[in-house]
Structure 1
Amino acid sequence: MQPKPSPLRRLTSSSAIYGTVVYAGLVGASSVYEEDDVEQVLITSALTLIVFWLAHVYSAALAHHGDDRHEALVTLGASIRHGFQESSGMLLSAVLPTIPLVFGVAGVLSHEHAVILALQVSTLMLFVLGCAAFVVRGSRWWWCLLGGVATALFGIVIILLEAGTH
């Protein structure tokens, strides 16, 4: 059995990066349809992310269970636990961008400001993840920054494409 991944590993996992992009796209798309109701943006985005997360858990568990490279018999329970561990980053990635939406629901921020801030937080998260990827590789500081900028910009493109298709 593989060791349990650290919380930092879950935050920088492919599921966390995917979750960041998907959640931002959902916030952007739902804000177009719910022009003045930040509560509905939050509910729609969060519930849809949970559905995507469940699909991710399901696919990770099934793929793990059917992987014939395991040295020992893998139980169904172990595969399901693997699916939850593998996919937990998707939910963790939504925590920070949700904070401005909660402030919007509480009336501290306007609808527009809450949505824009949630999208900016998501973009900043992608920037930090991009920088971190280059830092781990031992790149020079300017390559780390350039990698972060490129990651954030590419994330914005994907978020816009996703929002446009929903």
Structure 2
Amino acid sequence: MAKPAPPRSLDAFDRAILRILQTDARTPQRAIGEAVNLSAAAVQRRIAAMEASGVIAATTVMVDPEAIGLGITAMVEVHLEDERTESIRQAKALFLAEPEVQQCYYSTGGISFFVIIVTPDMAAYQALAKRLFEDNPGINRFRTLIALDRVKTGGALAI
């Protein structure tokens, strides 16, 4: 994997381009150029530079979980048995390997990890929780909160 280019400072054009791309990454470069008063070629060069420097980390598609049968969104506070480096590494690897884990944050404030999980139903969540948390000797305890409504997800960063 290629090493990212050194960080670059973003000017007003870069920020304007990023605001548009965060709303719809499929926006044609010509339309972006018209919106920010640059040529399509200049927009293309700036996007490529932001990709190379790691400012643009990925271009993805947002899928509505309920539209594909994933009706349960669980937010889980996970407390590790200890905070040793190896314990943290193992937990990170465990969460990274699970497709149901949509987001995972290693955190401060008494919670080791905050994990967002989507599953088709409560039975599937319970089976996953048993495997990931209950039967895992590295997990001290966990607390699950079930989302009643997805009010805002995947929001654009304020740039």
Q: Larger strand proportion, structure 1 or 2?
A: 2
Bigger relative CO (Cα 8 Å, ≥ 6 apart): 1
Bucket of the pairwise TM-score, normalised by the shorter protein: under 0.3
TM-score (structure 2 length as normaliser):
0.27
Question: Quick check: which one's helix share is greater?
Answer: 1
